[in-house]
Each structure stands twice: as structure tokens, then as C-alpha cells.
Amino acid sequence: MVTRLYDLGMQEWDICNLHRFMDWVMILPRGLKAEFWRQFQQFEQERHMPYITSVERIGYERGEKTVVLRQLKKRMGDIPEEL
């Protein structure tokens, strides 16, 4: 359904408001609600996911490692190189 709304030219804000209205009017069983949100989040991620080259991916991975190591050092002090 969400895909169709985007295809019809609706903006994200309008779709969010429509979902708020639907939540107010209709209560889904727990299983269906969980499935709906899983599919909705997956769709949103795919829609906003930019293409990342392998070089960019390597850079992001290195950056993540740097941030993790920096946080560990703040909390634990110096970390032996072999770890």
C-alpha cells in the first residue's frame, strides 16, 4: 500500500498523516500490526538507501572501527594492540 501511495505522488508527510488516521480509526491485531511495520520500515529503507561504492563502504567500516575504538579507550583506557 505504501508503495502505491508514493507512486500516486503523495508526499511522506501526507502518508504519515494517513497512517495516523488509520491507526486512530482501525486497530490491527498484534501480528498484522507487527508485519505491517516490518514491511513499511523495509520499504522506507530501500527507498532512501543511496548507492554506496565499495570504496565508500570500506571508508565507512574504517570510520566505524575508529569510533568504537575511541569509545572503548574513553571507557577502558589504553587497549592492547592484539585486542
- What does the alpha-carbon distance between residue 46 and residue 24 come to, in Å, rounded to a whole number? 27
pLDDT recorded at residue 66: 84
**What residue ranges of the chain have pLDDT lower than 50?**
none
pLDDT for 25-38, tens place per residue?
Answer: 878 788 888 888 88
pTM comes to 0.35
Give the DSSP letter string of 55-75. HHHHHHHHHHHHHHHHHHHHH
Contact 45, 51 (CB under 8 A): no
